[in-house]
Amino acid sequence: MGARRANEKDADRHIGRRALLIGGAAAAAGTAVLARDELGRLWWRTPGVEKPRKEGEVDYAGARWVAASDANWRRADRPEDYGVDLVVIHVTQGSFDSAVKVFQDPGHGAAAHYIVGQDGTVAQMIRELDVAFHAGNRDYNERSVGIEHEGFVDRPQDFTAEMYESSARLTARICARYDIPVDREHIIGHVEVPGTDHTDPGEHWDWDRYMKLVRKARTAVA
């Protein structure tokens, strides 16, 4: 019995060592993947390294290009240097034209990637490649696309059918491009960004209606 127990213990020792080696190899492989991904991100963050760009190019076919001031965003090469996994919904607290004007003002210090008008018009002011100063939180800025909507949070009539449908198509396309889940954890309001003092899109924004439209549009994209 003593010899048998010794053999069993020895077998356990060998099994344990083998499991440790296998586990170590798996961990090393995982570390190698993480290291490769991090090196890739560091590469895209190197000054002077960036993807080819064309002036006036848009990421969404339904948008027209209207450039924001360079002071209201930061050049990047997303998603290679920063992963994109959020869409943030805003309300302009003003007209479409006033929002464009503000985002073109270098003294404003903020701008979103897109503005959607009450008639469904979409303007892109910052490339999705780049980090827009829209969320009031650096981490959320780096990982999100911001969409402004023309109107005021206390006026439910400002959120028209044309706006909902146009914005939903835009969001669906963004979600498809970055493989973002179509749910309320990944499509959020500005008010849900940590540290923000904003309340938009407000209580009159119909999230149920909007998410149904986004899911429908996402299915069409697929």
- Poorest-pLDDT segment among 18-27, 84-93, 137-146, 189-198: 18-27
Q: What is the pLDDT of residue 147?
A: 99
Cβ count within 10 A of residue 173: 19
- The pLDDT of residue 12 is 37
Q: Average pLDDT in the 130-153 region?
A: 98
Q: What's the rounded Cα separation, in Å, for the pair 1 and 3?
A: 5
SS3 34: helix
Q: What would the two tokens of residue 70 be?
A: 């360079």
Domain ranges across the chain = 1-49, 63-221
Say if CB 87 and CB 145 are below 8 A apart. yes
Look at residue 4 in the predicted model and tell me its pLDDT: 38
pLDDT at 142 over 60: yes
d(CA 2, CA 108): 81
Query: Model-level pTM greater than 0.85?
Result: no
Residue among 160, 108, 152, 164 nearest 134 (CA): 108
Looking at every residue in the chain, the average pLDDT score rounds to 86
- Residue 136 exposure: Cα atoms within 13 Å on the Cβ side: 14
In tens, the pLDDT along 5-60 reads 333 333 333 434 444 334 444 444 455 544 555 565 565 566 666 777 888 999 99
Phi, psi of 197 (to 5 degrees): -110, 15
- Which pLDDT does position 155 carry in this prediction? 97
DSSP label of 92: -
Sorted by sequence, the CB contacts under 8 Å of residue 127 that are 6+ apart come out as: 53, 57, 59, 113
> What average pLDDT does this structure show over 211-216?
98
The CATH architecture that domain 63-221 belongs to is: 3-Layer(aba) Sandwich (3.40)
